[in-house]
Structure 1
């Protein structure tokens, strides 16, 4: 006899325009349904809020109040579900005792794909630190399970008192990505692509001098996707808007995908999603040797992990000069994503987590 479906209330931070909410939650819902976990999603912020945020605008107090009231109303009905699934927290910028009050009697699973605790614990304002410094540690300690995207976050969760920690990487659907059909050439400029949000441009700027020098020499052509309001100084580039419908086709136009990172605690909490996108499209990758990048990339086999400017220069030049190497790395990357980082590979593990929390 088939098991009854488990009903889960998802409290995501954003709707589909929020990358983390889309990738770690919303995209997985059809897969979870097939494994008997039926999810009802309720984002905190709407897409319009995120559009204003990326445009540098602030939400009015009235809009923010509506978001909090909507979340409170949703949580008042949470006991109709078998479990609650939190993206990081239920109420941003409110203390843990409020979350415990609304979640009382509801088993919940909390998910982290970033070192979100640093936003509170290292905030520049002392009152914020005093009120919220240990908030997420308290949320984790009260969770029936804590899902994390990498080992760095798993260590933090265990130190915070998490009883059950489940490590599930950020995933994607490889079927959405199709390697370019054009034959690679060594003579043409290497199309180097980067995808990210405006807030991630600080990482790209760390290698802008190398990219600018190589672009000026005709060695590369840089494409920046998703941060059109930001510009790199002295670095010629093509800037494209990000769209969910068009991102796979845009990435297919790259010859290599890059993910530079500064080495910080925040960066070590990242889950290397940009790299997974490039890899799914059959591309070689070049990335900083920070955090999960070192797990995703096999240095010298599926891409390169340069640690300084000269290393970046040499890696890009080698890939430009050797189309066969680019093709071989791209094939390995595609297979690696299908085996380890696809939604189809991890959905059963996530469904098992919910069944354990829900009791069967």
Structure 2
């Protein structure tokens, strides 16, 4: 029996924690494994974050104190989302990791958060160098981490395809583009607002945002938009009611390290996808088969219009996308995830 303490950043309400940790819990508990899990930030923090309210500093202090005690009393084996103590320098965090075997798990290029902070600039490199193993979600992170640690595995952020099996959901009456994400990455929608404005003059469509209803304050003028709060209850339903999934990105360092999980969700929902030809998007989306990779205003509009006008193309892309979803599912990757964790910790114990 292996004892493992899992340290997530958020509760299951946070997308990264939900899909890279909590999704695996039930299957992990069926193995020869004893699991304890601690979330650094609680659900109320996420609610404030998504509604753009001021952070509760007292609760953040309590979160650090709680995490200190968890680390002191944890099992010897730790599975960590990014870092155990966010925004705390490495020389402090390593004191709490002394005599621990730890595996780090990255789905985004969070190095960009620290690149201009002197005491934190090299923290993640040091954590990776001293880790027992590292799990990464995309090729950008795989290349980055492989220079620092030899025991790495690439496991994409996965979905449970069983969640998407309801085929009785009827599409929205109006042709719908859908975007799902966190309020912090809605900036990629606003940075492409000129495309959606121009498209509104060409085809009759609606742009649906699954993130937070409060983003209506940042709606694009002249574009028919609906905003939904994210929830496990409505996530799949709204995706399946839509017609095309979109994933616009800008060419910044954070976007280069994103894991294209939106595209994976769109595929599972049977949606063709239009996505910026940046980073992992180019590996997950099959251009001209499950959607289109685009890099300028003209190609964005042209690609959407093709799928709007050509029903056969739309149906072919939707069918291919749906069939590819298994390649990014827990049904495929749980065995690899469990094997890597067990092998890594057994070798260190």
TM-score (norm 2): 0.93
Give the direction of change, closer, same or farther, for the CA distance of 1:146–1:315 in structure 2 (3 Å limit). Answer: same
Aligned residues: CA RMSD = 1.8
The whole-number CA distance in structure 2 between the counterparts of 1:189 and 1:111 is: 40
In 2, are the aligned partners of 1:209 and 1:235 still within 8 Å (CA)? Answer: no
C-alpha distance after superposition, 1:224-277 (max 9, x if no partner): 111322222332211122111210011111011111111122101111111111
**Equivalent position to 2:177, from 192, 201, 214:** 192
2:89 matches 1:95 = yes
Out of 308, 311, 319, the residue aligned to residue 296 of structure 2 is 308
Matches within 5 A, 1:349-360: 349-359=336-346
Look up the match of 2:258.
270
Ranges in structure 2 where 5+ consecutive residues have no aligned partner: none
Deviation at 1:322, TM superposition (A): 1.6
Paired residue secondary structure (2:118): helix
Q: How far has the Cα of 1:282 moved from its partner?
A: 0.9
Does residue 240 (structure 1) correspond to residue 228 (structure 2)? The answer is yes
Cα distance in 2, alignment partners of residues 288 and 38 from structure 1? 42
- Secondary structure at the aligned position of 1:294 is classed as helix
Aligned mates of 2:312, 2:263 — CA distance in 1:
20
Instruction: Please give the residue correspondences for 1:57-68 in structure 2 after superposition, counting only pairs within 5 Å.
Output: 57-68=53-64
Matches of 1:145 and 1:220 in 2, distance apart? 46
Structure 2: how far apart are the matches of 1:18 and 1:184?
27
Q: 1:212 aligns with which of 181, 197, 204?
A: 197
Residue in structure 1 matched with residue 285 of structure 2 by the alignment: 297
Which residue pairs with 2:248 in the alignment? 260
Identify the match of residue 318 of structure 1 among 296, 306, 313.
306
Counterpart for residue 12 of structure 1: 8
Q: Does structure 1 retain, via aligned residues, the 8 Å contact 2:169–2:241?
A: no
- Determine if contact 1:52/1:58 at 8 Å carries over to the other structure: yes
Q: Report matched runs for 1:141-156 at 5 Å.
A: 141-156=129-144
Q: How far apart, in 2, do the equivalents of 1:146 and 1:272 lie?
A: 19
Residues 253-262 or 32-41, more deviating: 32-41
Distance, in Å, in 1 between the alignment partners of 2:33 and 2:262 is: 28
User: Compared with structure 1, are the counterparts of its residues 183 and 240 closer, same or farther at alpha carbon in structure 2 (3 Å cutoff)?
Assistant: closer
Q: Residues 105 and 192 (structure 1 numbering): CA distance in 2 closer, same or farther, change over 3 Å?
A: same
* Native 8 Å contact 1:190 1:220 kept in 2: yes
Deviation, 1:29, is 1.1
> Which of residues 170, 174, 187 is equivalent to 1:202?
187
Aligned pair count reads 344
Deviations 1:135-165 (A, max 9, x none): 0111111100011001111121123x22311
1:282-336 Cα offsets, whole Å, 9 max, x none, are 1111111111111111110110011111101111111011222222211211221
Of residues 132, 150, 157 in structure 2, which corresponds to 1:170? 157
TM-score (norm 1): 0.91
Show the counterpart of 1:105: 99
Any conservation in 1 of the 2:45–2:56 contact (CA below 8 Å)?
A: no
Is the contact made by 2:171 and 2:242 (CA closer than 8 Å) also made in structure 1?
no
Summarize the Cα distance change of 1:242–1:184 in structure 2 as closer, same or farther, 3 Å threshold. Answer: closer
State whether structure 2 residue 46 is matched by structure 1 residue 54: no
CA-CA distance at 1:200 after TM superposition: 1.1
Whole-Å separation in 2 of the counterparts to 1:318 and 1:59: 44
Determine if contact 1:11/1:86 at 8 Å carries over to the other structure.
yes
**Distance in 1 separating the partners of 2:127 and 2:26:** 27
Residues 75, 21 of structure 1: alpha-carbon distance in 2 compared, 3 angstrom cutoff: same
**Partner Cα distance (2:201, 2:230) in 1:** 25
Q: Which runs of 5+ in 1 are unaligned?
A: 123-128
322-331 vs 311-320, which moves further: 322-331
| SS at 1:257 equivalent | strand
